[in-house]
Structure 1
Amino acid sequence: MKHAVPRKVVVPAFQLTRECEFDKAGAVERRFCDNPSESSCNAYHYRPSSSDQASAWNLFAFTLDSKWRPWDLATVYLLEQVQEVKRPEMATYHALADDLGAYRHWLDAQQRQDLLFHFPQNMQERVTYRYYGHLKNQVFLGVLAASTAAHRMQTVIDFYKFLAKAEYFIPEHPAWKARQVSLAFKTKYGAQVVENVATTDLRIQAPKASDAFRETILDGGELRPLTSAEQGWLLDALLAIGNTEMYLLHWFMLATGARIQTACTLRVGFFLGHPHAFGCRLVGGQKVVKLKCGPGTRIDTKGGKNGILQIPLALFEAMQTYAYSDRAKTRRRGAKGGDHQNQYLFLTNRGQPYYLGKDDAQVFDPEHKSSYLCDGGTVRKFVSDRLLPAIRERHDPQFHFKIHDLRATFGMNCVDLMMPCVQKGEITLSTVLGTVQELMWHSSLQTTERYLNYRSRIQMIYAAVDGYGQQVQAWIAGANSLGGSDE
């Protein structure tokens, strides 16, 4: 079986170096032989380009051509992009390297050495328009998602902008037609704003299909709140599987609304007897432990947002018991840095974090060996390979969920707990709205309102589907009553 040629390769540790004299401080000798059988070899000396970490990264991605060779121009572009950011998140540049790899493989398939900078008078013959046509055709054939095609095209546009600015080439004719468009949108405070943005005639539209009958909430993606029964299935299956870390992770996300990067970057020190802030949960009246998350806490949040999680006391005590367990201690001792207060609470059996924290990702480690990006992939694989099959076998063969659905489930649980109080007149809907917004760290009230409207919207959807189904049955009955008339 022929394997697909990779579009990129990720290097565990990469540092920019420059050639130097042998007597320079920090000089390292590198020897190479033209013929391995010869006893004498050539040598040169090099040292890091910079003494700080501005030119050294873990998990740097190189774009490959169709012969598995690094593409020099793409490498220069990626280096430029990474060096412009103080705290680069490498997943972003992995995506750019992959986009450029797809472009380079397409170029190689055209078998024209001059195509990269081919911008003749005929617009449709220019390389950028030809690639645009290729991507559009891929979308039309269903080979490529429109969003993927749009991202790849934009990466290629930005790549050529960089090459032109750096004077790697001067196009004979414009690579695209630029234009200004006006975009109207609402701020998080509800104000209407119109902004002029630059675009090109190579922009690929990727409109999202609107499903009036969707059973999801739009909150950083399409999320489906689990029913009470489904939540029971989930926890029962996790208990049956017996993976302690996965059980506590899922329980934590379900009970606090935390995202996966927050749950996976919890630090063990918080659970090892330090003084804590206790209080009553905003809903349910349970005793909770308050945990600050965000910049300065080493616990990651989306967009670097600061927030407080309310951990039910029973869950906190279970996690504290785990933190003191021999199982957890063994994993910490096998982790990088060993067992210390800032170590991750949850680690794999090899001592690896499930999600590498942003602060840790910025520290260059020349001894880093893995090219794997720790971004929750292990948790998602557990869900797809073990958790979902277990639930489907025990309960519902059609059951589905993704890890982020636990956040929406938490939000709906909060609403459902408070609505009886609204019906009794003890609190107002505006109190519910503010409470859920605070618990879920929503910047926009519009997002929170989707949780309040979810139940009524779903009821209307079911009513509409049932009503339409009854009408269809009536039409079928009417058609059957016609019999086999020949008229």
Structure 2
Amino acid sequence: MSEVTTAEDPRAITRSIKQGNGHPAFNYYYRFVLDNQAEQDFNYNLFPVVLDRNAVPWSLGCLYILTQLEAETTPVMATYQSKADDLAAFKEWLDTQDNPDVLLFHFPKLKLRRPTYRYRGYLKKLIEARELSPTTAKRRMGAVVSFYQWLITNNYFHPEYPPWEETQYQLGFKTTEGREVLKKVVSTDVSIRVAKSEDPYAGTIQDGGKLRPLSGKEQVRILEATVAKGNTECYLIQLFILATGARIQTACTLRLRHFLNQNPEFSKSLTGDEKVYKLKAGPGTGIDTKNNKTGVLQVPCSLYELLRTYALSRRAEVRRSRFMAKQGDHSDPYLFLTQQGTPYYTSKAETLRFNPDFDRHHHKGGQPVRQFLKDHVIPYVRERHNKQFHYRIHDLRASFGMNITELLTAQVQSGAITLNKMRMIVKDLMWHESFATTDLYLNYRSQMDAIYEAVNGYGEQLQRWIDQANKGMAFDE
């Protein structure tokens, strides 16, 4: 798209990068090299730029990101930001070596002198020094492997000796429909292995990540803390997740229009006689979902009325006016906005729509909510209730799942519904693809009880052995 040039170039455009208070800005010059028609095909908000240690764009790194974006119809820039960060870490390491431009393409006969093996050794040292987590090191090495594959495929160079050694094998797994599938997997000897260790006492459920269902008391305490800190929006966002099982991107991309219906139609809840408002979410609704899945959120009648009251409040109106002042007349404003009038979470559709006046430097992905929990809610609960307390916003989804599971378990035990009916309801409410994930919630409480019962029983036996040793053994010579 462009190339670095000098200030004397008549087509030069100045780009200024701030260096912090008290330091002069760093300026460089670039020019476009595409014609007007081609240029229209490369318009991206939040395009991640790979910089070297002198804050100059690294041409090969930027080209690599750009060519991957070309194949995407709906790119998620946060994903490419991560790739750019990993490439920038590799470039930083290169720039600390002698002749970095030569080293990048230097693949001699001696394996350990090749940059791929040298970088792997560097990452391993960072892991041993506890300066880098194994998972981050694994991801960074994977990014470098992909980068070199791209360089070779696109004929940027042909290494004299292979950048790594490959091993191919078949990996078998079952799809969500239960079909057996074999997939060819290619592994390299520069990959960094991460040993998986499961803590049986962590109390987590694997549902799009390790989630920890909060106890009833913990749920009360975090909402109590949010009220005490006076953050109405974060209270309502957390309450919405606890009541519907929605993810943060769904709760934060609710639209004003969804709660302006004067005569909403309420239906019977799947879990009882309570009335709910069925809110469609997914592509075409303005509400984001994971993997663009389409579904229905069951919003309790009382919560819908509360959110409608908020939508019509003076507080929400002031925030929308600030949003409009920045964005102009917006036809579909968000329900929740920060005090400055910015979204808590930028919708996918809005991210993909190119805006030449776009002035933000990062994607809004719920950071204000997470920061509020970290700075205010967690310290509040630790100070008053539990010094070891911790949680993440996504844990509230698991908390909803367990709340529903325990409610329905009581109905199964009373004979009101069958166990199979219970599984179907939990699966539908949680939007699970597979019953395997649903069963993690159904088995969670009994599994944790069994673990602690086994540990406590063994602990009692162990204590008897210790007492026996104290009585029958001499420790003095």
Which residue number in structure 2 is paired with residue 284 of structure 1? 272
Which residue number in structure 1 is paired with residue 154 of structure 2? 166
1:333 equivalent in alignment to 2:321: yes
Amino acid at match of 1:243: N
Which residue number in structure 1 is paired with residue 388 of structure 2? 398
- SS across alignment from 1:231: helix
Which residue number in structure 2 is paired with residue 470 of structure 1? 460
Q: Whole-Å Cα distance in 2 between the matches of residues 44 and 222 of structure 1? A: 46
1:81 paired residue among 65, 68, 84: 68
- SS across alignment from 2:315: helix
Q: Whole-Å Cα distance in 1 between the matches of residues 288 and 471 of structure 2? A: 65
Deviation at 1:156, TM superposition (A): 0.8
Deviation at 1:209, TM superposition (A): 0.9
Q: Unaligned 5+ residue runs, structure 2?
A: 5-9, 15-29
Amino acid at match of 1:392: R
Does the C-alpha gap of structure 1 residues 56 and 31 become closer, same or farther in structure 2, counting only changes over 3 Å? closer
The C-alpha deviation readout for 1:52-107, integer Å capped at 9, x for no partner, is 85311111111122222221111111111112211111111111111111111111
TM-score, normalised to structure 1, is 0.88
Which residue number in structure 2 is paired with residue 141 of structure 1? 129
Deviation at 1:17, TM superposition (A): 6.2
The C-alpha deviation readout for 1:13-58, integer Å capped at 9, x for no partner, is xxx4699xxxxxxxx97688xxxxxxxxxx9998874378531111
Instruction: Tell me whether 138-147 or 112-121 shows the greater mean CA deviation.
Output: 138-147
Q: Whole-Å Cα distance in 1 between the matches of residues 414 and 424 of structure 2? A: 18
- SS across alignment from 1:117: coil
Which residue number in structure 1 is paired with residue 350 of structure 2? 360
Deviation at 1:115, TM superposition (A): 0.7
Native 8 Å contact 1:333 1:339 kept in 2: no
- SS across alignment from 1:261: helix
Native 8 Å contact 1:224 1:401 kept in 2: yes
Deviation at 1:311, TM superposition (A): 0.5
Which residue number in structure 1 is paired with residue 248 of structure 2? 260
Native 8 Å contact 2:344 2:366 kept in 1: yes
CA RMSD of aligned residues (A): 2.3
Which residue number in structure 2 is paired with residue 193 of structure 1? 181
2:228 paired residue among 237, 240, 249: 240
1:371 equivalent in alignment to 2:361: yes
Deviation at 1:296, TM superposition (A): 0.8
Native 8 Å contact 1:17 1:48 kept in 2: no
1:312 equivalent in alignment to 2:326: no
Superposed, 1:90-129 pairs within 5 Å as 90-113=77-100, 114-129=102-117
1:420 paired residue among 397, 410, 415: 410
Does the C-alpha gap of structure 1 residues 258 and 69 become closer, same or farther in structure 2, counting only changes over 3 Å? same
Does the C-alpha gap of structure 1 residues 396 and 53 become closer, same or farther in structure 2, counting only changes over 3 Å? farther
Q: Whole-Å Cα distance in 1 between the matches of residues 356 and 330 of structure 2? A: 22
1:72 paired residue among 59, 83, 86: 59
Identity of aligned residues (%): 46
- SS across alignment from 2:378: helix
Which residue number in structure 2 is paired with residue 8 of structure 1? none
Does the C-alpha gap of structure 1 residues 29 and 274 become closer, same or farther in structure 2, counting only changes over 3 Å? farther
1:449 equivalent in alignment to 2:439: yes
Amino acid at match of 2:270: L
Aligned residues: 455
Deviation at 1:468, TM superposition (A): 2.4
Deviation at 1:484, TM superposition (A): 3.8
Does the C-alpha gap of structure 1 residues 45 and 441 become closer, same or farther in structure 2, counting only changes over 3 Å? closer
Deviation at 1:360, TM superposition (A): 0.2
Which residue number in structure 2 is paired with residue 176 of structure 1? 164
Amino acid at match of 2:224: D
The C-alpha deviation readout for 1:159-185, integer Å capped at 9, x for no partner, is 111112222111111112223111111
Deviation at 1:270, TM superposition (A): 0.8
Q: Unaligned 5+ residue runs, structure 1?
A: 1-15, 20-27, 33-42
